Amino acid sequence: MQRSKHLFRCGLILFLLAARADDVSAQPKFLPSQQYPGPWLEVTAEVRDLLALHQVSACNQAAGRQSSRNSGEYLLYCTQDEKRWTSWRVEPLAHKVRGPGKLLEGIPLPDAY
């Protein structure tokens, strides 16, 4: 009897965990164009200082888009020569810089370049 109660509890816990995992996977995923809807913005001195602090030299020319999910996060498209572009994610207040990465699908280069 004791063993069957234990097995029932274990089974119930596994069932609840599986149901929770389904809930998490069912949450809508944002497309990059929804997360960074634009418009392209000029990169601020604060962002440029953060890039310099992290010794990012690939952003001689850059434009940014603010995240719709986190107002303190920006997507940057950067280039040194207007031919090779990289993407970066920057959070100035948290002093975080992630990149380089590929350009995001659905987000074209800024018009000015």
For residue 36, give every residue at least 6 positions away whose Cβ sits within 8 Å of its Cβ, in sequence order, or none. 65, 66, 67, 68, 75, 104, 107
Contact 106, 31 (CB under 8 A): yes
* 52 close to 43: Cβ distance less than 8 angstroms: no
**pLDDT, tens only, 34-87:** 999 999 999 999 999 999 999 999 999 999 999 999 999 999 999 999 999 999
One-letter amino acid identity for 101? G
Instruction: Tell me the average pLDDT across 103-111.
Output: 95
Residue 94 has pLDDT above 70, yes or no: yes
4-13 pLDDT per residue, tens: 554 445 443 4
